[in-house]
Amino acid sequence: MKALFKAGPQPGFELVERPEPQAGLADVKIRVLATGICGTDLHIQAMDATAQSMIRVPLIPGHEFYGEVVEIGDEVREVKVGDRVSGEGHIVCGMCRNCRAGRRQMCINVQSVGVQRDGAFAEYVVIPETNVWVHHDPSITPELGAIFDPFGNAVHTALSFPLVGEDVLITGAGPIGLMAISVARHAGARKIAITDVSAPRLQLARQMGVDLAVDVSTMSVREAQRELGMREGFDVGFEMSGHPSALPEMIENMNHGGRIAMLGLPAQPIEVDWGKIVTHMLTLKGIYGREMFETWYAMSAMLSSDPVLHRNVAAVVTDVLPASRWEEGFAVARSGRGGKVVLDWSGV
C-alpha cells in the first residue's frame, strides 16, 4: 500500500510502498478515505524535541481519519464490513486502575495510533474494534468524519464545566478553538470571546458566530471585556494555544471562582500568578484527548440535532488536497493561515 513513512529519527516523510497491515482476531481493517493533519503530525514531520520524546520509528503517522471497513477479525462482534467509521486514536490497556474503573481516557499504558504504532496516513489502517466509531448519520462526509478526533478535543474541553449563562474566553483560534465556539454556544454560553493573532482565523471565528474575535497584538483581554459590556471577569476559559502568554493573561481576567480547561500544550515553562489562583479560587483542569466514549456520543448527538453547529464544524475544514500533495498540505497546516487541512486518500 502507499503510505507516508518515517524510516528513522530524521525530519520529513516519504510517500512509499509499505506492507498492508493485517487484522488480528479483535481488530478491524479500514480503507482510509480521508485524514486530518494535526499539530502532532507537524511535530513528527519536523522530528523536533516534542516528537523525539514520544514517537517510535519506523512509523506511519496519522491519527485523524475516516474510512470504510474492509476486513474484520474472527472475534469482532458489532462492526461490519462496509461500515463507514472514524477511530479513537488512544488504545488503552484495559487492565490498569483507571481502565478497570471506567476511566479509559486516563489509562497509564495508552498507545496512540500514528505515534507509538502505525497510523492512518496510508491506504489502510488497523485498530481494535473497541476503538472504532461507526457513523450511522449519512450527513457525515469523509472530511467531517476525518476531524472527529479534534472535534472530540473541542467537545471534551468545552463540556468540562457547565456553560449555561456563562461568559467564555477561548485562547487560540486554531481548528479546535474554532470548533469550541459552536460547542460553547450549543451548551448555553452567554458571551464568547476568542483570541489569536491570525487575521484569517479570527475572520473564521466571526463567521462561526463568536461575540468578539480579539487580535491580542492590538487589543488586550481586559479591553475585550469592556467591549463586550462585561462587569466582571470571564467565568470559564478554554486554553487551546499553548502560547506562554495565554494562560497568565487568562488567569488575570477570570472572575472569582472561574474555571479553566487547558488543552494547549506549552512548549516551555510558564510562570503564573499562583496567589491569584488561590485567592480567586480558580480551578485549572488539564484536558487530553476525548472521554471514551462519552465525548463521541456527545459529538454525534450535537451534529445530528444542531444544524448550525454541524455547518460550523464542517466549515473548519478549509483545505482538502489529494494525498499525493501531502507536502503542500503540511505546508498549509504549518502556516496557520486557515482552518483544518484534510488529505483525500480515495484516489491513491
Q: Are 185 and 209 in contact (CB under 8 A)?
A: yes
Instruction: Name the grid cell of 313.
Output: 464544524
What average pLDDT does this structure show over 60-80?
98
What average pLDDT does this structure show over 91-95?
96
Q: Which of 286, 304, 331 is the last residue of a domain?
A: 286
Is 43 labeled as catalytic in the residue annotation? Answer: yes
Q: Burial-class residue 25 by CB neighbours within 10 Å (0-12, 13-18, 19+).
A: exposed
The model's pLDDT over 110-144, given as tens digits with 9 standing for 90+, comes to: 999 999 999 999 999 999 999 999 999 999 999 99
pLDDT of the residue at 265: 86
CA neighbor of 309 nearest in space, from 139, 154, 179: 179
pLDDT beyond 90 at 336: no
pLDDT of the residue at 268: 83
The model's pLDDT over 196-205, given as tens digits with 9 standing for 90+, comes to: 999 999 999 9
Is 40 labeled as catalytic in the residue annotation? Answer: yes
Domain membership of residue 338 (yes or no) is yes
CA neighbor of 260 nearest in space, from 236, 225, 290: 236
Q: For the residues of 281-344, what is the DSSP string, one character each?
A: T-EEEE--S--TTHHHHHHHHHHHH-HHHHHHHHHTEEEEEEGGGHHHHHHHHHHTSSSEEEEE
Quote the mean pLDDT of the chain. Answer: 96
The one catalytic residue in 40, 130, 195, 295 is: 40
Distance CA 171, CA 86 (A): 28
pLDDT of the residue at 348: 85
pLDDT level of residue 43 (50, 70, 90 thresholds)? very high
CA neighbor of 258 nearest in space, from 244, 266, 247: 247
pLDDT of the residue at 223: 96
Q: What is the percentage of the chain residues whose pLDDT exceeds 90? A: 96
Strands (E), 37-113: 64-72, 84-87, 90-91, 111-112
Domain membership of residue 291 (yes or no) is no
pLDDT of the residue at 271: 93
pLDDT beyond 90 at 277: yes
Domain membership of residue 307 (yes or no) is no
pLDDT beyond 90 at 172: yes
CA distances from 201 to 25, 100, 153 (A): 44, 41, 18
The one catalytic residue in 35, 43, 195, 310 is: 43
Distance CA 16, CA 321 (A): 18
pLDDT of the residue at 173: 96
Tell whether 105 and 203 lie within a shared domain.
no
Contacts for 275-280: CB closer than 8 Å, 24+ residues apart: 276/251, 276/252, 277/251, 280/254, 280/255, 280/256
Tell whether 11 and 143 lie within a shared domain.
yes
Task: Collapse the DSSP code of 43 into the 3-class scheme (helix H, G, I; strand E, B; otherwise coil) and give the result.
Answer: helix
Tell whether 275 and 322 lie within a shared domain.
no
pLDDT beyond 80 at 59: yes
pLDDT of the residue at 337: 85
pLDDT of the residue at 110: 96
Domain membership of residue 176 (yes or no) is yes
CA distances from 278 to 70, 255, 275 (A): 54, 13, 5
Tell whether 232 and 136 lie within a shared domain.
no
Tell whether 16 and 122 lie within a shared domain.
yes
Tell whether 167 and 132 lie within a shared domain.
no
pLDDT of the residue at 238: 98
User: How many structural domains compose the chain?
Assistant: 2
Tell whether 25 and 130 lie within a shared domain.
yes
Domain membership of residue 248 (yes or no) is yes
pLDDT beyond 80 at 267: no
Q: Burial-class residue 19 by CB neighbours within 10 Å (0-12, 13-18, 19+).
A: exposed
Distance CA 219, CA 228 (A): 13
Tell whether 167 and 129 lie within a shared domain.
no
Strands (E), 58-118: 64-72, 84-87, 90-91, 111-112
pLDDT level of residue 161 (50, 70, 90 thresholds)? very high
Type of residue numbered 142:
P
Domain membership of residue 269 (yes or no) is yes
Distance CA 196, CA 194 (A): 7
Quote the domain boundaries for residue 223: 160-286
Distance CA 344, CA 66 (A): 10
Q: Are 342 and 34 in contact (CB under 8 A)?
A: yes
Domain CATH code at residue 262: 3.40.50.720
